[in-house]
Homo-oligomer: A and B are copies of this chain.
C-alpha cells in the first residue's frame, strides 16, 4: 500500500480465471491489518461466489490472514499432518534447521481443503463458507501463498482443478487479442467501426488497448457460441487491419521477427546509436535468438560510428549523426562487416536535450539494409520521455524488419520535420 512493490498477482490470476471461463469481477488490495482483512474478505464473500486471497499465510508476525479468516468464518484451527510433514521435509531436504515457528503454517481451519505447496511451506486453503451466511448460494474462499513462484504452480496444478469441479457451469469464454503496431487508436477504430454492429449483435465484446505506438484489439465472447463469434470477428478484423497485425495474444514483435528470421535462415546485425542496445536486447530476449543474431554495435560516439561501422566523416560533417545519410551508412557498414542478410540501424535524439528546430528531440532515422536490396531509411518523430522513445523506436525498427522478412510493403515514415510538442 506504500507503493514500494508492484502487485502482479491480480493480473496473473485475472487472466487465468478469465481463460477458465470465470472472469473476475473486482480486485481489491488492502493493508495487512486484522480489521482490513476481515472487512475485505466478508465484503468479497457477499459480492461473489468465490473470493481469492493472496498472501499472509507465512510464519511471521505480520501473516495474519489465516487466523482472521478462521475467526471470520467461525472455524477453529487444527494441525494438518501432511502439511507438517511437508514443512519438515522442506527444511530437511535443504539441510537447514527448521525454526519452530514455521510449524504454525500447518494450522488449518476445520473443513478447509488443503492445497499442497511444492515450492514452499505455506499450503493453500480452499474453504467453504457456511451456506446463507454471506448470500444465497454456496460461497468459497481460496487462499494462496504470496510468493509468485509458490502461488503460480499451486494455482495451475492444484487449485484450478478444484475450482473447476466446484464451478462446472463456468460459461464458455473466448478471448483473442490481435496486436498491431505503427497505427493509432483512432485509425483502428475508424477501420473497424463499420464492421462492428453485426458482430456485437452476435455477442462480441471488443476492447482497444492503446499504448504508445501500438494498439491491441481484444475480441471477447462468452457462452456456447463464444469460439465461433470470436473466430468470425477475427476474420473480419484481419480483413480490415491486414498487414498491421503482427501477432496475437502474447506474441511480441521481437519473437515474431526472430521466428521469421529463423525461417528465412537470416543473419541479423544491429547498429544502434540513440537506442543504446535496446533493439539487440529485445531480439536476444527471445530463446533461440543466437541462431540468427550474429551481433551488433552500439555506436554512441561519432568516433565509434566512423571507426566501427565505417561511416564517412563527410556524412557526419555534411548531414550530422542524426540523418538519413548516417542511418544508411550505419546499416550498410554493419551489413558489410558481418556479411549479414539484414542489418538494422538507428540514430536519433532520445533527449531530454540535444534537439534543434529541424531535428527536435524524438527524431529518429531507422535504416534497414538487406543483402541484394536497396537500403530503406525511414524518419519518425517520437516525442516522448527517454525510455518510451527507445521503446517506440525499437518497435519501428522491428516492424521494418518484420515487413521486410515477409515481403510486405514498407512502413511509411514522416517527411517534413515535425514540430516539437
User: Which residues of A pack against B, CB within 8 Å?
Assistant: 1-8, 10-18, 23-31, 36, 40, 60, 62, 93-95, 99, 119, 147, 149, 175, 177, 185-186, 189, 207-210, 212, 216, 218, 220, 270, 272, 275-281, 283-285, 287, 289-290, 293-301, 303-304, 307-308, 337-338, 350-353, 384-388, 390, 418-419, 421
Contact = CB atoms under 8 A, between A and B. Distances in A.
Contact of A352 (B15, B62, B287): B287
A350 B62 CA distance: 34
Contact of A280 (B175, B189, B298): B298
Contacts of A36: 25-26
Given A6-B11, A95-B419, A297-B297, 16 more contacts: A1-B24, A3-B16, A3-B18, A6-B8, A26-B40, A28-B29, A272-B277, A276-B285, A276-B289, A277-B296, A280-B298, A293-B300, A295-B299, A295-B300, A297-B298, A308-B308
Contacts of A351: 287
Contacts of A3: 10-18, 24
A275 B281 CA distance: 7
Given A16-B3, A149-B385, A276-B284, A303 B294 contact: yes
Contacts of A387: 285
A133 B32 CA distance: 29
Given A94-B418, A297-B297, A418-B95, A278 B276 contact: no
Counting from the closest, the 3 A-B pairs by CB-CB distance are A3-B15, A276-B284, A277-B277
A6 to B, nearest CB: 5
A266 to B, nearest CB: 13
B294 A304 contact: yes
Most chain-B Cβ atoms within 10 A of its Cβ — which of A175, A186, A352? A186
A147 B304 CA distance: 37
B298 A298 contact: yes
Contacts of A25: 1, 30-31, 36
Q: A13, A218, A277, A299: which has the most chain B beta carbons within 10 Å?
A: A277
Nearest to A5: B209
Contacts of A386: 285, 287
B276 A216 contact: no
Contact of A26 (B28, B60, B99): B28
